[in-house]
Amino acid sequence: MNEIEFLHQQVSLERRHMSEVKNACEAAIEAGFNEDTLNEFCGLCGEYLVFIVDRFNAQDGAHVQLLRPRLGPEEAMFLPVLDDLEAALAANRAAIEQLHVAIEARHSGHSSAADMILAVKNYIDFYNKTLRKQQPALGPLFARHYTLADWRAASIVTADSILEERSRYTAITAALPSGIELKSSGRPG
């Protein structure tokens, strides 16, 4: 496996994990577990989502910044795709910031379990209604314009990021409420 394949594999793994965590949290909320169980589990899921969504926003933002100046006149049809991606990123940053604020309030003792559960549910609802449909078709641009250095810069994959993601995902796995599984519903946007 070459380095580009490794970077793609790691980013895909992180996106699959995000989908699994989002789905498990959503399933736990829908299952109606008691508030203490949901508060603990949703708190862990919320922290994971903030961490991983911040990574995805940075990755996708890097793609836009790297690709936009490289587009030739014959690729003008991709400009609206990049514009749409930037708009989705802005909306996602605002939505994930609300979840981040709720997590900070939880850590400082300034929120209830219901507040934490609602904040995670609100982000999941936002994701399902807004981002799930966002899958920009950038593959042809990557093939034409990206070098190994570009993939390194845009993926933001480091040994530390891999260890951090694994640690957070393992914590979710260990805290799964009874009957809740980590299952993916496809690649998140």
Please indicate, yes or no, if residue 183 is contained in any of the structural domains: no
Please indicate, yes or no, if residue 88 is contained in any of the structural domains: yes
Phi-psi region of 164 (alpha: psi -120 to 50; beta: other; left: phi over 0): alpha
Q: d(Cα 62, Cα 117) in Å, to the nearest integer?
A: 31
Q: What is the DSSP string of 113-143?
A: HHHHHHHHHHHHHHIIIIITT-----HHHHH
Would you state the pLDDT for residue 187? 45
Please indicate, yes or no, if residue 43 is contained in any of the structural domains: yes
Would you state the pLDDT for residue 6? 95
Per-residue pLDDT tens digits of the chain, which is 189 residues long: 799 999 999 999 999 999 999 999 999 999 989 998 999 999 999 999 999 999 999 999 999 999 999 999 999 999 999 999 999 999 999 999 999 999 999 999 888 889 999 999 999 999 999 877 666 678 888 989 999 999 999 999 999 999 999 999 999 999 999 999 998 765 444
Would you state the pLDDT for residue 138? 84
What is the span of the domain harbouring residue 100?
Answer: 16-174
Please indicate, yes or no, if residue 6 is contained in any of the structural domains: no
Please indicate, yes or no, if residue 1 is contained in any of the structural domains: no
User: To which residue do tokens 């109606």 refer?
Assistant: 32
Please indicate, yes or no, if residue 128 is contained in any of the structural domains: yes
Please indicate, yes or no, if residue 11 is contained in any of the structural domains: no
Q: d(Cα 69, Cα 89) in Å, to the nearest integer?
A: 18
Q: d(Cα 123, Cα 18) in Å, to the nearest integer?
A: 13
Would you state the pLDDT for residue 111? 84
Q: d(Cα 141, Cα 109) in Å, to the nearest integer?
A: 47
Number of domains in the chain: 1
Would you state the pLDDT for residue 185? 65
Please indicate, yes or no, if residue 188 is contained in any of the structural domains: no
Q: CB of 9 within 8 A of CB of 157? A: no
pTM for this one? 0.91
